[in-house]
């Protein structure tokens, strides 16, 4: 009888015991949860940074600051003997100022870094080796330079693996970087045909006159009527595509001239690339770059001159 009584208690006791063990298996290990509370970029150097390089697999994009305005540059892909891009080694284009500022905000944010490994052999499993990682480097005249290698996300997709300055330690941190790990110029470039990120602060420029010159003919839009003003406002909303760094096409179409108080006068040359695309090459102070627009966008530009 007593034996049956003990058996009656043994099963619930074992169930409770294993239940506690199971529960404790999910309890965080204090040692594994220890982290370093720090910022990748010391906030006191935030305004000292004047160069950021984004690179992966040999493809590099540079962001640099001149006269308090961030610009981008990429190497041309045309033949060095070409007259089009041979005078300057890199295409220089305006970038979205807010994107660069947001990236710097992420770098200076105080966060917890959890150490995963101190072994060089662990770089590849975390996609932190040279061939797999995304490298963000920054520097400045009065700012210590740094290199941050970003690898893959963890299983939660909320954390990302990283290492810094050629050191062997692998860390894991909150992933609010991925949106900026992009070395495609199309992501960073000012997207508007009439750029807005060429002044500080970035804004639409006040246009006095827009002219299109083609085959000896000139058409103008002067904002002295509501209709003409509406045309200029529509023009300022039109966007282009990616940066174009190849040899300029041979078929020249015409020149667009912009007159404004902020920038005096600047021009854009239009070239026909093929049946789908038009190349716009900008002649704008310290910028030297081309972009692609569709034939549809080009036709919209022509319509604005016809209807004003």
Angle at Cα 121 formed by Cα 119 and Cα 122, nearest 5°? 75
Q: What is the pLDDT of residues 51-93, one digit of tens each?
A: 999 999 989 999 999 999 999 999 876 444 444 444 556 899 9
Q: Most confidently modeled of 46-55, 119-128, 242-251, 264-273?
A: 46-55
pTM score: 0.83
- The number of angstroms, rounded, from the C-alpha of 174 to the middle of its chain's C-alpha atoms is 19
User: How many CB atoms are located within 10 Å of the residue 243 CB?
Assistant: 22
Q: pLDDT over 70 for what percent of the chain?
A: 85
Whole-angstrom distance, CA of residue 242 vs CA of residue 183: 12
Whole-angstrom distance, CA of residue 220 vs CA of residue 306: 10
Q: What is the pLDDT of residues 87-127, one digit of tens each?
A: 556 899 999 999 999 999 999 999 999 998 888 788 999 99
Q: Which helix (H) or strand (E) holds 119?
A: none
User: How many CB atoms are located within 10 Å of the residue 61 CB?
Assistant: 21
Decide: helix, strand or coil at residue 138: strand
Question: What letter would DSSP give residue 28?
Answer: P
Task: Express the helix, strand and coil content of the chain in percent, nearest 5 each.
Answer: 25, 40, 35
């Amino acid at each position: 009888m007593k034996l049956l009584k003990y058996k009656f208690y043994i099963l619930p006791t074992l169930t409770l015991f294993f239940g506690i063990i199971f529960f404790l298996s999910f309890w965080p290990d204090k040692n594994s949860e220890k982290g370093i509370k720090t910022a990748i970029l010391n906030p006191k150097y935030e305004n000292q940074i004047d160069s950021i390089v984004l690179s992966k697999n040999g493809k590099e994009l540079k962001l640099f600051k001149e006269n308090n305005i961030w610009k981008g540059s990429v190497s041309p892909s045309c033949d060095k003997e070409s007259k089009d891009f041979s005078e300057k080694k890199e295409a220089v284009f305006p970038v979205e100022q807010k994107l660069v500022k947001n990236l710097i905000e992420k770098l200076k944010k105080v966060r917890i870094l959890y150490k995963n490994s101190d072994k060089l052999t662990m770089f590849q499993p975390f996609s932190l080796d040279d061939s797999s990682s995304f490298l963000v480097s920054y520097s400045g005249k009065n700012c210590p330079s740094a290199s941050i290698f970003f690898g893959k996300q963890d299983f939660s997709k909320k954390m990302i693996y990283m290492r810094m300055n050629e050191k062997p330690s692998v860390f894991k941190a909150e992933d609010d970087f991925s949106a900026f790990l992009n070395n495609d110029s199309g992501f960073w470039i000012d997207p508007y045909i009439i750029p807005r990120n060429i002044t500080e602060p970035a804004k639409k420029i006040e246009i006095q006159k827009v002219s299109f010159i083609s085959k000896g003919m000139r058409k103008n839009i002067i904002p002295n009527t509501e209709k003409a003003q509406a045309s200029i406002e529509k023009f300022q909303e039109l966007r282009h595509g990616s940066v174009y760094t190849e040899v300029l096409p041979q078929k020249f179409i015409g020149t667009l001239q912009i007159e404004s108080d902020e920038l005096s006068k600047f021009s854009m040359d239009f070239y026909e690339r093929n049946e789908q695309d038009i190349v716009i090459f900008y002649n704008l102070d310290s910028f030297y770059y081309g972009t692609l627009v569709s034939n549809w966008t080009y036709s919209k530009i022509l319509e604005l001159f016809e209807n004003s």
